[in-house]
Amino acid sequence: MAEYVKLLNDVNYRQLKPILDEYQLEEFEDKIHTAMEFVSPVMFTVWEDGFYWEYTGMIHRFDPLTKMIHFRVGK
């Protein structure tokens, strides 16, 4: 069993963290502001620890200094 666990850990399922350039960041901010203005649901794909997770919900607030998004996940 231990060999199987080691084999699974050796297989590279994890993905590298994507690097975004300044243009992509501006494009994301524009989409976020548009979704907030028109109260539209958005879908985020979030990279965390080598895996991607998808969340759908509404954006309540966006802090441009810290780039923090206050987001409520939909049902």
Reported as a single tens digit per residue, the pLDDT across 29-62 is 898 889 888 988 989 888 888 888 898 988 888 8
Q: Look at phi and psi of residue 16 and say left if phi exceeds 0, alpha if psi is from -120 to 50, else beta.
A: beta
pTM of the model: 0.60
Cβ atoms of 42 and 32 closer than 8 Å? yes
Q: Amino acid identity of 3?
A: E
What is the amino acid identity at position 70? H
The one-letter amino acid code at 40 reads S
